Structure 1
């Protein structure tokens, strides 16, 4: 994480110091420096106990070394756990990391605004059973509820907006700097009595929370509200797919249609159309025809922020031919031109 984000200064800097821990800060990419074994070399050389990174880093490593051959070249006996944060951790990436490292892979969920974890697996107190795809359960102080569009709580297993019942616990944002009206409009007005997280998901029967997408990424296909995150899970499970993103593009008939962007594992030499056909069939089989998932294209890389978040909203604007502002935190602006070219091959991103 950039040090400007809350993870950067809390988890990287003062929280470890408060506990007397040594922090090893790595700046750079986890692949190509010189290979996909960079993280493993660091763990070996510095006896690192806990690795904290974004899922996108592990997807990049998995793409370059899908069989984990570089893992065996280093002594990783010091590693006790892997923590993932910053974006949704897809089940396929978590499973790969668990299989390769043999340590607990702990996802957790929070926001810069909240100051610390909303949902987590508190290893330092008591390790909870890991449910792949879930950051576990709300931590003390957080009354997390799933709401429908009218602001009513929904049944377990039902997708909705993730909100926190007020009051918020200590340590969270009390306002926005010189922008009290914007603070109330952005977080408090949509669901009176709640803090709106801007994320969509559901809670299961055991109280485990699942973050499926930003609420902006829940798309409406012919009146059906569908999670792009659920479709991404299906795409990511394909053996040739290293990383993916699903966005909702405007459609005159259905309102929106899902469109998939696929990054393939290194060494995959198959015809791209074959992979596309297979993932389209998988979404139809696992989610159903209601998803109307028929559009997908293979790209070399996805546009991301420096902390690893995929810029889905920017891709939607490009696909729909709308003006957009270049995100200040983008890792490599040139990727947007690559994405535009790929979308144009499907008949979108018309200038």
Structure 2
């Protein structure tokens, strides 16, 4: 990299764009009134090969392109520059894998050398600027190295969960047309070893596009067969490769494609620009997550999700934070105390997980006994996202840890938080049930069916006024028209989030449900989340879901599905009657809430989102359209049996 422009985190007038003397109101106002100056000031914290011509400019459609004319490299900013600045021996990656009994750490220098070698190995396989590389790995340092090595040489990576089904994998191969695959030989799902090679081989048999080959990181639990012409060994290829330097790319160059399930069954490839994404993440690490350089950050997610991209890999490393990579589950590997043990061991300052993980811990260890005795003095706050955080879960974890808990809201499409509590700028009051306030650059409104703003505390479709801030996806891979149809056509001048909720008189946003999860009872539009909030407040309930099922008279009526905490003593009849009365008291008779089903588990995606649509489809006698990201397909059998029995009785 030559002719690098180096800045030091201040705007031209010396204002700190991240924390400093700004309070939330002035920071938000500044970002709204002067986006070029605000985001330009943040961008000056990064190292650019060539400075941008303009901070924000016209895109191909309504979504703007950020830092046009600028050139930058994500791997350089996440790794190499820290080594050059004297932090090479600082810890970059902390790997904790209770499923294999493995713990290890990599310094920034070791991470730089590994990415340079892998980048060289990919170059030897003919991968060049703009080529796609598919990554099929479990949570591991090698997955992070693979992502950064792609960024290093300007290749566009597309991470797919290790263990993802062959047919879904084939659809992604055909859409992204990767030149090369980087894979692990296996993954570990609980106590099971899952070989990846048979899945990859089947996917390549199904797909029309054929990658040139696969480099396998061989794990001792199971090894891939490398006798085939297109299978290569990770260690061998890296040893034979010459290290490569970072390749500058345009700020608008795609850093990655991340697939998310679409309503049509065809996966949507979310495209992420390099420059704007790095700038947005740079602001969040201190402004939102209050995690200064040198501290330890842990997002208990998976690299296959957007949280893993943003806050296992790019965000923390960009900010010179040690980042924890966890291969395991919040319970059962080995127990519900594993989160607290890892936080204490590595002095984690900021911790990010899904509400469903906290609910799983609460179900197994309702009194939080496994957290007792762990030194969590370094922990400053817990951040929850991925599924709405009900107030009872927020209160439980807040009391247990004695730390602030931030419920914040964002999407795969946005790449970072739309709303949150900016603890690094100004801690705002916690309002249980609210995702707090819009982050800088996000202008959030609630609209009715006709596109008119609703009054404070009235439910509507949550939208973001255009233009969107940096980091948000500018398009879909090979599907620009589909992007416009999915997000921009419904309300002119707005991005459609697909979520429904309300904004209170103080500007705090309450994301209550997906718009297609609103229950219409005899013309009354009711939020499933509001009823779930009531159910979850019962001390016997670990987690729950409410869906609207078909009713001949009222159109829909709500049905509750409840998982109990361990050791609950009440009878089924008593508890169900109590829950029905709770909802009728808090929501009112208009909800027509009369049905509660006790279940052992809720069906979820691997990121923890409850599959309410699948529950509703089964209840209505439809064939469930199950997403490929479902965590455990067998969970749906309980629901099929539940409603078969109900039909038999009726």
TM class, shorter-length: over 0.9
1:257 lines up with 2:557 in the alignment = yes
Q: State how 1:73-92 maps to structure 2 within 5 Å.
A: 73-92=373-392
1:103 lines up with 2:403 in the alignment = yes
Partner of 1:212: 512
Q: Answer whether contact 2:352 2:384 (CA < 8 A) is retained.
A: yes
Distance 1:347 1:70 in 2: 43
Partner of 1:112: 412
Partner of 1:46: 346
How far 1:170 moved relative to its partner?
2.2
- Report SS of the residue matched to 2:497: strand
How far 1:27 moved relative to its partner?
2.0
Partner of 1:59: 359
**What is the aligned-residue RMSD (CA, Å)?**
1.5
Q: Answer whether contact 2:461 2:515 (CA < 8 A) is retained.
A: yes
CA displacement 1:256-290 (0-9 Å, x = unmatched): 01010000000113211211110100000011000
State which drifts further: 282-291 or 324-333: 324-333
Distance 1:82 1:12 in 2: 15
Q: Answer whether contact 1:121 1:136 (CA < 8 A) is retained.
A: yes
Query: Who wins on radius of gyration, i.e. which is larger?
Result: 2
Partner of 2:281: none
Q: Answer whether contact 1:302 1:339 (CA < 8 A) is retained.
A: no
Partner of 2:534: 234
Give the direction of change, closer, same or farther, for the CA distance of 1:85–1:100 in structure 2 (3 Å limit).
same
> How many residues align structurally?
350
1:343 lines up with 2:643 in the alignment = yes
Distance 1:268 1:347 in 2: 29
How far 1:237 moved relative to its partner?
0.3
Which residue, out of 484, 492, 498, partners 1:198?
A: 498
Distance 1:320 1:103 in 2: 42
**TM-score w.r.t. structure 1 length?**
0.97
Q: Answer whether contact 2:344 2:375 (CA < 8 A) is retained.
A: yes
- Report SS of the residue matched to 2:409: coil
- Structure 1 portions without partners, runs of 5+: none
- Report SS of the residue matched to 1:70: helix
**Structure 1 runs of 4+ with >6 Å offset:** none
Which residue, out of 439, 445, 452, partners 1:152?
A: 452
Distance 1:38 1:29 in 2: 8
Partner of 2:627: 327
Distance 1:197 1:2 in 2: 23
**TM-score w.r.t. structure 2 length?**
0.53
CA displacement 1:200-244 (0-9 Å, x = unmatched): 000011000001000011010000000000000000000100000
- Structure 2 portions without partners, runs of 5+: 1-300
How far 1:87 moved relative to its partner?
1.1
Which residue, out of 18, 22, 26, partners 2:326?
A: 26
Distance 1:4 1:36 in 2: 23
